[in-house]
Amino acid sequence: MSYNKDFPVSWAELHRDSRALAWRLLDMQKWKGIIAITRGGLVPAAILAREMDIRMIDTVCISSYSSTEGDGDKARGELELIKGAAGDGEGMLLVDDLVDTGKTAQYVRELLPKAHFATIYAKPSGRPLVDTFVTEVSQDTWIRFPWDMEYSFSTPLADRK
């Protein structure tokens, strides 16, 4: 997949969008807990737990990226389950930062078929696998999360010629 668009997300934007997700989920039911998909789901899960007053948090640990491509982004590899979660997900929120191709989402859905799957961002290929999300972005967009970036000087646009 070639990514033609870049979508940087700041900490403030991520916090705002995570709170928006919490608003959508808060009155749906009494949640037993949250299962975060590592690593991307950890920060949104922490924000949801605070906003929704949920104390039970578990993780499903999956590796889906392997080698690094020339531009520093990682290429998709085979899925590897490092740690699962008990049960079938009934009454649980399954949380990730985004659903992209849907490969990880489909795999986790099979592990936890009764969980409510929520993400902040959704791309068209994975969107049908998510129960609740906040923002849809195009499939050719690379989302740059704040934990993947650091502040640095940016050349003014006029000087980039």
Q: Which residues are marked as active site?
A: 96-97, 100
Among 8, 75, 21, CA closest to 50: 21
How far lies 10's CA from each of 27, 43, 118, in Å? 27, 13, 20
State the Cα–Cα distance between residues 98 and 81, nearest whole angstrom: 18
**Residue 124 Cα distances to 60, 83, 121, angstroms:** 23, 27, 10
- Please, are residues 112 and 60 in contact by the beta-carbon 8 Å criterion? yes
Q: Cis bond leading into 39, ω under 30°?
A: yes
CA 139 to chain centre: 15
